[in-house]
Amino acid sequence: MQRMSIAVSGTEFTEADGVDGLIGMAGAAQCDAVEFWYPKNALRDGADAAFRKLDRAGLRIACISTPSQLYGAGEADSVPLLHEAITLAARTGSNRVNTYFGHAPVVDDERAIAAYADALAPVLDHAAAEEVVVVLENEFDAFGWDPAASDISRRPATLAALFTRVDSPCFGLNFDAANFLCAGVSPARDALSALLPWVRYAHVKDARPAAAENPPDGWTRYTDHGRAYDTAPLGAGEVDWPTIVDSLATAGYDGYLALEPHCARSILLAETARAADHLRDLIRVHTPSHQ
């Protein structure tokens, strides 16, 4: 059994940061792979210069992540962005590109799945030619953009229906357990059990229902349809990470677990180091045959 690998995500940084902070975050985690957010992590120095910096630091690219969505108003801009990201993924050897579903004013799951599958088809043709996997991250209404809850990725059953319809080895799931928690879904019991066959990548953070008027110092509050959640140190929230890591290991998943603590910059490196140690311990316990 191969062991899962730890990466860190560039989503924690701004457009002005380049990849310097990402390199520092990888150092704190003692890992050798990063999730590169495109174009955000490339805007300061340019993609080529950013990739050279990562290479000099001994870092691989686990995934090229994009703020793209193929359902709703964002489709026109997202298609060319995904094609760019697929080309970059193939060039850098990362072979994964992350995307999002999107949203609409009303809930119509059947129409949403059909429209997304149609928009995705030419993107997957490109991905297949470049031997890249497009991973769809499940979401909740983190920014208040989807008051109707039309995003099918927040519901395991509709997400499974999408993967079944598309049925492509170049399309899989970026399983974000904390996002499911914030969508009111049990990540281990109800989400992973239904979606495990399609997991090709995973985001790792923790969260819990808000217990006070303000989030704890350094942590982030999100509200989904009236329910408030705070991010938390890994292992201190309500995501059942031992069960999730065990389920992934049992299924033979040997891909990346990408840390994204969603905390203040003032505590980011310390929390990344602590989270990486905690996650490494979980991986060690649940992949005991790995030598």
Query: Mean pLDDT over residues 255-279, rounded?
Result: 98
Q: pLDDT (tens digit, 9 = 90+) per residue, 233-243?
A: 999 999 999 99
pLDDT tens column, 194-216: 999 999 999 999 999 999 999 99
Please say if the pLDDT value at position 291 is more than 60: no
Instruction: Categorize the per-residue pLDDT at 3 as very low, low, confident or very high, splitting at 50, 70 and 90.
Output: confident
State how far Cα 49 lies from the chain centre.
24
Structure tokens at 110: 């059947």
Provide the 10 A C-beta neighbour count for residue 288. Answer: 9
Q: How confident is the model at residue 74 (pLDDT cuts 50, 70, 90)?
A: confident
Distance CA 174, CA 2 (A): 19
d(CA 287, CA 242): 12
14-70: pLDDT as tens digits: 999 999 999 999 999 999 999 999 999 999 999 999 999 999 999 999 999 999 999
| Banded model confidence at residue 90, pLDDT cuts 50, 70, 90 | very high
CA neighbor of 26 nearest in space, from 44, 46, 48, 41: 41
Q: Measured between alpha carbons, how far is 232 from 248 in angstroms, rounded to an integer?
A: 22
What's the chain's average pLDDT? 97
Q: Are 101 and 71 in contact (CB under 8 A)?
A: yes
pLDDT at 289: 58
Confidence of residue 290 (pLDDT cuts 50, 70, 90): very low
Count of Cβ atoms closer than 10 Å to residue 69 Cβ: 25
Greater confidence (1 vs 91) lies with: 91
Say if CB 185 and CB 175 are below 8 A apart. Answer: no
Mean pLDDT of 115-136: 98
What DSSP string describes 133-189? EEEEEP---TTS--TT---GGGSHHHHHHHHHHH--TTEEEEEEHHHHHHTT--III
